[in-house]
Chains A and B, each alone.
Chain A
Amino acid sequence: MKDDLAAYNVEVIALSKDSVETAATHKVRDRISMQLLADPMLKIIRQYGVEHDKAIEVSTGKMNLFGVHLAMMPSIKTMAIPTTLLIDEEGIVRWIDQTDDYRLRSHNERILEVVETTFAETAQS
Chain B
Amino acid sequence: MDTLIWTLGWLGLGSVLGGWGHYIATIPRDKVPRSPTIMFITQPTGLILALLSLGLARDGGSIPVGIMLLAGFAIFMGLFFFILYSQRSTPLGNLQVELDSPMLAFEGTDSDGNPVDTNNWRGRRILFKFYRGLW
* B94-135 contacts to A (CB < 8 Å): 94-106, 108-113, 116, 118, 121-135
Q: Is B3 an interface residue (CB 8 A)?
A: no
- Are the CB atoms of A84 and B128 closer together than 8 Å? yes
Chain A nearest Cβ from B121, distance in angstroms: 7
Interface residues of chain B: helix, strand, loop or mixed (majority): loop
Given A8-B125, A10-B125, A39-B108, are A83 and B95 neighbors across the interface (CB < 8 Å)?
yes
- Are the CB atoms of A71 and B128 closer together than 8 Å? no
A48 CA to B101 CA in the complex, in Å? 13
- Are the CB atoms of B122 and A101 closer together than 8 Å? no
Q: Of A50, A102, A108, which contacts B93 at CB under 8 A?
A: A50
**Interface residue total, chain B, C-beta cutoff 8 A:** 48
Of B9-17, B50-58, B63-71, B82-90, the one contacting chain A is B82-90
Q: Of B98, B101, B109, B128, which contacts A38 at CB under 8 A?
A: B109
Chain A nearest Cβ from B102, distance in angstroms: 5
Given A16-B131, A50-B130, are A94 and B88 neighbors across the interface (CB < 8 Å)?
no
- Are the CB atoms of B103 and A81 closer together than 8 Å? no
Q: Is B38 an interface residue (CB 8 A)?
A: no
| Contact digits for A74-90, partner B, Cβ 8 Å, 1 yes 0 no | 10000111111111111
Give residues in B with beta carbon < 8 Å to A. 30, 32, 34, 83-84, 87-106, 108-113, 116, 118, 121-135
